[in-house]
Amino acid sequence: MSSNPLNGARFVLAAHDITQLPYDQGAEVAFAGRSNAGKSSALNALTGHNALARTSKTPGRTQLMVVFDLPPLKPDDGAAPLDARLVDLPGYGYAKVPEAMRAHWRGEIDAYLRMRRSLRGIVLIVDIRHELKDFDRTMLEFCAATELPCHVLMTKADKVSRGQAGKALDVLRRDFRQQGVQGTAQVFSSLAKTGVDEARAKIVALLHTPRPHEL
Confidence of residue 1 (pLDDT cuts 50, 70, 90): very low
**pTM, full prediction:** 0.91
The full DSSP string for 110-171 is HHHHHH-TTEEEEEEEEETTSPPPHHHHHHHHHHHHHT--EEEEEE-GGGS-HHHHHHHHHH
d(CA 119, CA 147): 12
Give the whole-number percent of the chain exceeding pLDDT 90: 55
The reported pLDDT for the residue numbered 54 is 66
* All structural domains of the chain with their residue ranges: 10-214
Mean pLDDT of 17-28: 94
Count the Cβ atoms, other than its own, within 10 Å of residue 55.
Answer: 19
Residue 68 has pLDDT above 90, yes or no: yes
pLDDT at 213 over 60: yes
3, 94 in Cβ contact below 8 A?
A: no
The CATH architecture of the domain made up of 10-214 is 3-Layer(aba) Sandwich (3.40)
